[in-house]
Amino acid sequence: MPASGIYILDTKGKVMVSRNYRGDIDMAFIEKFLPLLNEKEEEGNLTPLLSTLGVTFAYVKFNSLYLVATTKRNANITQIFSFLHKAVEVFREYFKEFEEESIRDNFVVIYELLDEMMDFGYPQTTDSKILQEYITQEGQKLEITPRPPMAVTNAVSWRSEGIKYRKNEVFLDVIESVNILVNINGTVLRSEICGVIKMRVFLSGMPELRLGLNDKVLFESTGRTGAASKTKSVELEDVKFHQCVRLARFENDRTISFVPPDGEFELMSYRLNTTVKPLIWIESVIERHSHSRVEYMIKAKSQFKRRSTANNVEIIIPVPNDADTPKFKTTVGHVRYVPEDNAAVWTIRSFPGGKEFIMKAHFNLPSVESAEQEGKPPIRVKFEIPYFTTSGIQVRYLKIIEKSGYQALPWVRYITQNGDYEIRTN
């Protein structure tokens, strides 16, 4: 069941662009949105769904704009939210930024897009590359009236025919984010690896691609297990694919085969729930002397192989919001105080494996305690380790077959970075 209308509202809740798809809700009804939102926020039970008088508002907030869908029915709300996020993505690809100015500057195109992306409340074509083929920002300058690209209705709705490159290349980025939650007493409560494989495809024609990974399930089914196999395999807990990947085929024999979209896209994501040794381990000693000062001793230790190096490491240490006069002492990197975030940030450009560094910080506290109660934000760590995946996932091959028979080169990069990397403090 579908959405009734879509609205783009500015910060004050004023309608900037709206599209009424079904005519079953008075378009003026949107005026109730912001007051309702404020009311719920005040009551402390704000949710992404607001409902009044039988109408539900589903909204996402982006750059202080609201993108709101309304419905009177038992709509498939997951689809509506997915669509709203998708719409933001399309607008951003069209206008670089999705904010008040770009909307005012492009309201005609936005109307056109809203007309094309949704019909009678049902999402239609939302692939920005395909949309760009027949909805252009310089519409009035085009002499030839555009026709709907084949791709709109093709089984391959994400790639147009007739793409040509002089040099056929594919770039694969395997990016793993490590999510970790460490308790006050230093136990790892949760660890998880979320990986994505991003592609940048510069290939002519309609190429067929097949990607081979060291997937444990695949290895087991083909008998390449145990000692017989030299390559280590990885057990992917949950895999999600771009719509170009043939899911039934994957389900059958774990083959990842697809006709890729042109340019940049995310081919797949995966998740592993294994216990990960925290790549960068943080120990903190915090001594609070209320009314006078607070002292921090932070120890950072890299727990990966010596031949790897973590780059751009940032250790973000929360400090009280009324702290002042920061003093830092460290042998490596530098520390700066970021009062707007109530944090001290310790940056280490290059952090080799198997090392340990210490930083000491000292802040003064006012003698009058602030009445405002503060939360206990965790210490966060940001980092990037190139040429390395925590899970051990590997691209074994990427086969590219196109009827013209050209040779194309795949390039693969691996990188591990932080995800939600939280260490609780007291």
Partner 1 sequence: MSDAKYFTTTKKGEIFELKSELNSDKKEKRREAVKKVIASMTVGKDVSALFPDVINCMQTDNLELKKLVYLYLINYAKTQPDLAILAVNTFVKDCDDPNPLIRALAVRTMGCIRVDKITEYLCDPLRKCLKDEDPYVRKTAAVCVAKLYDINPTLAEDQGFLDALKDLLSDSNPMVVANAVAALGEINETSPHPIIDMNTVMVNKLLTALNECTEWGQVFILDCVANYSPTDEREAQGICERVSPRLAHANAAVVLSAVKVLMKLMEMLPSDSDFVVALSKKLAPPLVTLLSAEPEIQYVALRNINLIVQKKPDILQHEMKVFFVKYNDPIYVKLEKLDIMIRLASPANIAQVLAELKEYATEVDIDFVRKAVRAIGRCAIKVEQSAERCVSTLLDLIQTKVNYVVQEAIVVIKDIFRKYPNKYESIISTLCENLDTLDEPDAKASMIWIIGEYAERIENANELLESFLEGFADENTQVQLQLLTGIVKLFLKRPTDTQELVQKVLTLATQESDNPDLRDRGYIYWRLLSTDPVIAKQVVLAEKPLISEETDCLEPTLLDELCCHIGTLASVYHKPPTAFIEGRTAVTRKSLPARVPSLNGGSPSFDASTPGQRQQTVIPNQDSLIGDLLSLDFGSPSGPQSSYAMGSMPPPMTTAGQDLLGADLDSLIGGGSSDLSGHSAGGSGGYGGGGYGGGGGLADLVGFGGSSSGGPSLAAGNTGLLGDIFGIAPVSAYSVPKQVWLNPGQGKGLEVQGSFSRKNRQVTMELTLTNRALQGMSDFDVRLNKNSFGLTPASPLNVRSPLPPNQSTEASLPLNITADIAKQNPLTNLQVALKNNIGVHYFACLIPMHVLFVEDGLMEKGVFLATWKDISSDNEKQFDIHTSLTDADAISNKLQANNIFTVTKLATDGRQLMYLSVKMTIGIWILCELKLNAIASGHTLALKSRVPDIYLGIVEAFQGILLA
Which structure tokens are listed for 89?
């993505």
Q: Which is nearer to partner 1, 73 or 360 (CB)?
A: 73
Sign of CA dihedral 110, 56, 76, 242: positive
Q: Which of 4, 70, 157, 391 binds partner 1 (CB under 8 A)?
A: 157
According to CB under 8 A, which residues from 367 to 396 bind partner 1? 373-378
Which structure tokens are listed for 178?
């490590």
Q: Which is nearer to partner 1, 185 or 407 (CB)?
A: 185
Q: Which is nearer to partner 1, 99 or 169 (CB)?
A: 99
Listing DSSP states for 106-122 in one string gives THHHHHHHHHHHEETTE
Q: Which is nearer to partner 1, 242 or 301 (CB)?
A: 242
> Phi/psi at 109 (nearest 5 deg)?
-65, -40
CB within 8 Å of 43: residues ≥ 6 apart:
none
Q: Does 107 bind partner 1 (CB under 8 A)?
A: yes
Stretch that binds partner 1, among 116-124, 215-223, 385-393, 405-413 (CB under 8 A): 116-124
Shortest distance in whole angstroms from residue 63 CB to partner 1 = 15
Q: Please tell me the total number of residues recorded for the chain in this structure.
A: 426
As a whole number of angstroms, the distance between CA 116 and CA 292 comes to: 62
Stretch that binds partner 1, among 105-113, 167-175, 338-346, 393-401 (CB under 8 A): 105-113
Shortest distance in whole angstroms from residue 357 CB to partner 1 = 24
Give the closest residue to 361 by CA, choosing from 380, 374, 351, 346.
346
According to CB under 8 A, which residues from 231 to 290 bind partner 1? 237-243, 246-248, 250-251, 266, 268-269, 271, 273
Q: Which is nearer to partner 1, 367 or 372 (CB)?
A: 372
Shortest distance in whole angstroms from residue 341 CB to partner 1 = 12
CB within 8 Å of 187: residues ≥ 6 apart:
none
Q: Which is nearer to partner 1, 55 or 203 (CB)?
A: 55
Stretch that binds partner 1, among 140-148, 319-327, 351-359, 408-416 (CB under 8 A): 140-148
According to CB under 8 A, which residues from 191 to 210 bind partner 1? 192, 194
Give the closest residue to 286 by CA, choosing from 188, 362, 358.
362
Which structure tokens are listed for 113?
């897009």
Residues forming beta bridges with residue 328, ordered by sequence position: 361
Listing DSSP states for 347-407 in one string gives EEEEEETT-EEEEEEEEE--SSPPSS----PPEEEEEEEET--SS---EEEEEEE-TT---
Q: Which of 12, 42, 96, 155 binds partner 1 (CB under 8 A)?
A: 155
Shortest distance in whole angstroms from residue 331 CB to partner 1 = 29
Which structure tokens are listed for 298?
């932070």
As a whole number of angstroms, the distance between CA 79 and CA 193 comes to: 27
According to CB under 8 A, which residues from 49 to 78 bind partner 1? 49, 51, 54, 56, 58, 60, 71-78
Q: Which of 22, 92, 198, 210 binds partner 1 (CB under 8 A)?
A: 22
Q: Does 309 bind partner 1 (CB under 8 A)?
A: no
Residues binding partner 1: number (CB under 8 A): 96
Q: Which is nearer to partner 1, 184 or 409 (CB)?
A: 184
